[in-house]
Amino acid sequence: MRKSGKSSEIAGKKEQLKSFLKEGGFKSTRQRDIITTEFLNNKGHITAEELYRIISRKHKDIGFTTVYRTLKLLTQSGLAAERVFSDNLTRYESFSSEEHHDHLICLNCGAITEFKNEKLENLQEKIADDFSFHPMTHKMEIYGYCMGCNKQTLNLKKADEPQRSQRKT
Amino acid sequence: MRKSGKSSEIAGKKEQLKSFLKEGGFKSTRQRDIITTEFLNNKGHITAEELYRIISRKHKDIGFTTVYRTLKLLTQSGLAAERVFSDNLTRYESFSSEEHHDHLICLNCGAITEFKNEKLENLQEKIADDFSFHPMTHKMEIYGYCMGCNKQTLNLKKADEPQRSQRKT
DNA sequence: TTGATATTGAAAATGAATTTCATTTTCCTT
DNA sequence: AAGGAAAATGAAATTCATTTTCAATATCAA
């Protein structure tokens, strides 16, 4: 893997976190640094549990609780955002005051794809207006089958069960 | 309160449930009848806990578990639908193969308002198309302040805390 | 270096959702 | 109507993600 703009991007975000920590009277720690780096390197929508597992491979001394608390901290600082989809697990996505976006969620493989749509933003305003409602934000989730899984589905047809939603093992 | 078309509407739904029970090899019971009636009389978005409390006033012998299981049964039969909003509680709404609809949720008082919007349905299709995604359904939730609470907010301005989100007591 | 304060991580607690199990009820079959 | 197999009930227990507690440890400003 070649180092590109990504490194500096991450460096920038880590600076952002440090500022946040200093302002809030929090302390910079080895754990927070490792967890933040690992989180930022895993673009996507990750659960605290998943991130913990990834980290604990290399750092057996870092506990789940610290990963959990650091993700909360990242959320407060604006570097992460919490998302809950229909499997009821809390996921964190890397977030840097980007524009609002929404999600496509595959019912088969669980893949989560982000999208932005200006018309959707406008529509929110219109709908709210009809109810004299003052909108602050919204959540739009489209559930269905992604390109890859759609093919599978067509072939396997009446195959047993859908593969996901294993909320409780 | 005057009895109107509502009674027969409810009667119809209860018939629907009976058919479902018979087909599935389930039994009709006093508890299921009471719970169903009470659920259908409480239009809105109610949690199992809330419904249980309402019912247990008059029927102290009906347990939470039965209310919970009956709501699941109503969901299977198509008479109810589960909804989870940002407080992560599972709510049930009366549902009878109505058209799809979405929700406005007040961040202050928690009021949940339903809306239907044809443009939103079309937009789902278009967005999904862009990603070769095959949409099955979607969830659109607009969070903000309802008319009543918006007024309050304007007056109380820097008042203490927002009133809701008491997820954990 | 020191001391006040924050952090850490293991374990415990929490709380909603779900399951277990002994008892009771339903309802099909005589 | 009685019998009996199968399902339902409800209290209590369990599950599981999330959150809190607390004693030990680390940070960092003075």
pLDDT digits (tens, 9 = 90+) for B74-96: 999 999 999 999 999 999 999 87
Do residue A104 and residue B143 have CB atoms under 8 angstroms apart?
Answer: no
Question: Which pLDDT value is given to residue B154?
Answer: 61
A85 C-beta less than 7 Å away from strand D: no
Radius of gyration, alpha carbons of chain B: 19
CA of B18, C1' of C27: distance in angstroms:
14
The minimum CA-CA distance between B149 and chain A, rounded to whole Å, is 9
Nearest to B105 by CA among B126, B121, B89: B89
Structure confidence by residue, pLDDT tens digits, A55-94: 999 999 999 999 999 999 999 999 999 999 999 999 999 9
Question: Which pLDDT value is given to residue B150?
Answer: 80
Which residues of B lie closer than 8 Å to A, measured between beta carbons? 84, 86, 88, 104, 106-107, 113, 115, 117, 119-120, 123-124, 127-128, 130-147, 150
For residue A141, the chain B residues in CB contact (below 8 A) are: 138-140
Report residue B48 as tokens. Answer: 């199992």
**Closest Cα in chain A to B150:** A134
Question: Which pLDDT value is given to residue A43?
Answer: 83
CA distances from A25 to A20, A21, A70 (A): 9, 6, 15
For residue B146, the chain A residues in CB contact (below 8 A) are: 131-134
Report residue A87 as tokens. Answer: 């499997």
Nearest protein residue to nucleotide D9, judged by CA and C1' positions = B66
pLDDT reading at B166 higher than 50 = no
Question: How would residue B148 be classed by pLDDT, with cut points 50, 70 and 90?
Answer: very high
Question: Best of A86, A89, A138 to disrupt the B interface by mutation (most B CBs within 10 Å)?
Answer: A138
Instruction: Check if the beta carbon of residue A131 is closer than 8 Å to that of residue B115.
Output: yes
A123: CB partners within 8 A, 6+ apart: B117, B119, B120, B123
B32 C-beta less than 7 Å away from strand D: yes
Nearest to A121 by CA among A141, A102, A97: A102
Expressed in angstroms, the distance from the first to the final Cα of chain B is 35
**Closest Cα in chain A to B122:** A120
Structure confidence by residue, pLDDT tens digits, A106-138: 999 999 999 999 999 999 999 999 999 999 999
Question: Best of A115, A139, A149 to disrupt the B interface by mutation (most B CBs within 10 Å)?
Answer: A139
